[in-house]
């Protein structure tokens, strides 16, 4: 089985296993590799982190399809665990959704979510969101299902209606998205533990995702609790971005203050360890493998 098929199958099996799949959003390929090496089962490629990493800008619908797809592709190619992707609103109308699905499937993503915000969208935990009429995402989910080549490529619906019209509307919309063919359901930004319970009660047999943002609208809940509540996926979308930003700020302040990075060195990976982490020895070995003297065996 080729990597793309293997990753899709692996992710679907994990999501349907009854155990929760915990994922960090990786802002880039290096962060994804860190996640993989620390034992993650899968990683997520998502808009907030891509927007921050590629543009140093907020998740306000400025980063586009091409940027998100390319970042996700880099992540997929860097790791050997499944990568699920945030496809925002599908980047336009039904024709765009078709291209989005075809493209993410071709690069080897395990699946995508598509949401019902009005474009330009914003992070689900920001104020001022607007949602489209339910029919819009309903049609996009149908188009996405029709466009996918493999059943293992999972389509998740995301609704942002909780903040705009309340939880009941978010649940009602998600039921329609499920009926339209969504394999997985994601109700963004519930505002209490009780709302997480209510979401599971509304979808007792459908795989659900929870989104844990530090300082976001949803109370940070332990993975074990979410698993007990019946959630199948938990994603931590901003933690790696915030950690990078914090650490880099501390580093630069140290340099400004001391004129050297020496005082911060204990917080860094070392030169040899980093080279080992990114596989320098393997690359050097591969380089040596094709050296001219080794090719004499074919002559």
Partner 1 sequence: MNLLAKLTKHPNTIIPAAGDGSTIQFLAQMKPMATYLSGQLASQTLLAENDEGLISESEYAKFLRDMRLKTPNTLIADLQSGFGSPLNAYYAAQDLERSGADILILNDQPYPAHSQPHPASTTPEDLLGKTRAALDAFENPATQLWIKLEGIGNYGIDGIRQRAIYLAKAGAHALIIDHATADQLRELTSAPLALPLLATWTTKTEQLDQISGWLDTGTLAKAAQEAHQAAYHSLLEGALSYAKK
Nearest distance, CB of residue 101 and partner 1, angstroms: 11
Nearest distance, CB of residue 279 and partner 1, angstroms: 12
- Asked if residues 150 and 110 have their Cβ atoms less than 8 Å apart, the reply is no
Which listed residue (127, 215, 266, 287) binds partner 1 by CB under 8 A? 287
Which listed residue (19, 150, 262, 286) binds partner 1 by CB under 8 A? 286
Stretch that binds partner 1, among 34-42, 45-53, 269-277, 281-289 (CB under 8 A): 281-289
Task: Please tell me whether residue 9 binds partner 1 under the rule CB under 8 A.
Answer: no
DSSP 8-state class, residue 117: B
Q: What are the phi and psi torsion angles at 19 (to 5°)?
A: -105, 145
Which C-beta is closer to partner 1: that of 56 or that of 291? 291
The mark string for 126-165 relative to partner 1 (x by CB under 8 A, - otherwise) is: ----------------------------------------
DSSP 8-state class, residue 118: P
CA distances from 131 to 74, 140, 156, 183 (A): 31, 14, 17, 21
Quote the tokens at residue 126: 């920001």
Task: Please tell me whether residue 223 binds partner 1 under the rule CB under 8 A.
Answer: no
Task: Please tell me whether residue 262 binds partner 1 under the rule CB under 8 A.
Answer: no
The mark string for 90-129 relative to partner 1 (x by CB under 8 A, - otherwise) is: ---------x--xx--xxx---------------------
Nearest distance, CB of residue 69 and partner 1, angstroms: 9
Residues 6+ apart with CB under 8 A from 239: 24, 25, 214
CA torsion through residues 24, 28, 34, 37, sign: positive
**Position of tokens 């070995």?**
285
Stretch that binds partner 1, among 159-167, 180-188, 253-261, 290-298 (CB under 8 A): 290-298
Task: Please tell me whether residue 53 binds partner 1 under the rule CB under 8 A.
Answer: no
Task: Please tell me whether residue 230 binds partner 1 under the rule CB under 8 A.
Answer: no
**Position of tokens 């911060």?**
264
Nearest distance, CB of residue 299 and partner 1, angstroms: 5
**Helix extents (H) in 108-238:** 134-147, 161-165, 167-180, 193-202, 223-229
CA distances from 66 to 103, 144, 238 (A): 10, 18, 21
Strand spans (E) along 62-181: 83-86, 111-115, 154-159
Which C-beta is closer to partner 1: that of 147 or that of 212? 147
Site of interaction with partner 1 (CB under 8 A): 2-3, 70, 77, 99, 102-103, 106-108, 283, 286-287, 289-296, 298-299
């Amino acid at each position: 089985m080729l990597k793309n098929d293997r990753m899709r199958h692996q992710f679907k099996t994990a999501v349907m296993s009854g155990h929760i799949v915990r994922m960090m959003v990786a802002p880039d390929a290096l962060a994804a590799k860190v996640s993989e090496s620390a034992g993650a089962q899968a990683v997520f490629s998502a808009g907030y982190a891509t927007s921050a990493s590629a543009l140093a800008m907020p998740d306000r619908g400025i980063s586009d399809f091409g940027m998100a797809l390319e970042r996700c592709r880099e992540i997929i190619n860097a790791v050997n665990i499944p990568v699920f992707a945030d496809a925002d609103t599908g980047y336009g109308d039904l024709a765009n959704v078709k291209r989005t699905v075809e493209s993410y499937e071709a690069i080897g993503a395990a699946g995508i979510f598509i949401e019902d915000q009005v474009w330009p969208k914003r992070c689900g935990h920001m104020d001022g969101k607007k949602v489209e009429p339910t029919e819009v995402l309903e049609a996009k989910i149908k188009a996405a299902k029709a466009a996918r080549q493999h059943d293992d490529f999972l389509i998740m619906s995301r609704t942002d209606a909780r903040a705009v019209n309340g939880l009941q509307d978010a649940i009602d919309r998600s039921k329609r998205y499920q009926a339209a063919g969504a394999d997985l359901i994601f109700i963004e930004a519930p505002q209490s533990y009780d709302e997480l319970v209510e979401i599971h009660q509304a979808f007792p047999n459908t795989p659900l995702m929870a989104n844990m943002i530090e300082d976001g609208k949803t109370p940070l809940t332990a993975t074990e609790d979410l698993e007990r509540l019946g959630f199948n996926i938990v994603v931590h979308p901003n933690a790696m971005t915030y950690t990078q930003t914090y650490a880099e700020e501390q580093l630069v302040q140290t340099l400004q203050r001391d004129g050297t990075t020496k005082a911060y060195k204990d917080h860094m990976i070392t030169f040899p360890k980093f080279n080992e982490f990114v596989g320098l020895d393997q690359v050097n070995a591969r380089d040596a493998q094709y050296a001219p003297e080794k090719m004499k065996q074919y002559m």
